[in-house]
Structure 1
């Protein structure tokens, strides 16, 4: 009976503060934050929204001029925007495929009609 009472008493009493516990908690917290930030930077995140927003922010006139300059395709525009985003240190590492997919949809939207990513085989730009 005394063991049960001592156990209940131990559960009710909060543990005493110790610098060692505080240091371990602080080191663990910093380690978790560093590991998470490293994972965010090294592993690509979905870039669909970023690709879409990057094109929308530039505007329709810019998009039409870039598409016309690339022979009527959207891939050159999306490649340039992806490179710009990847060179800024504050932006996460966006997955290329999803970034281009979002970019392509925004180009279609601003152009008012579908724009192919690549030129059809055998076609020559004007």
Structure 2
């Protein structure tokens, strides 16, 4: 099963990435974790996202479209980065996330969502 693992944004990372000894060590720890995922055949993709101030949203209402510039409020609902993993089941995904270094300074949250898998028909 494929899952998307979403690292939720915090107020800190919405301010943007700042190089410091602490942030560089956190990046190195995450790199080592990604290496473990890759070696286990779990990692399909991993990316970090820039702050929402660099983003845009397109709101749909029937045939109308409206573009909204970031930054976006409700920081806890935003995504700061993601992985795409291939795992046996949700229990395996949870086990991997529990091994993950804390992705943000202080409290943070990671969400795991299965992808829809539509069987191909002949």
TM range, smaller chain: under 0.3
TM-score by structure 1 length?
A: 0.22
TM-score by structure 2 length?
A: 0.23
Relative contact order higher in (CA < 8 Å, ≥ 6 apart): 2
Q: Identify, as 1 or 2, the structure richer in helix.
A: 1
Q: Identify, as 1 or 2, the structure richer in strand.
A: 2
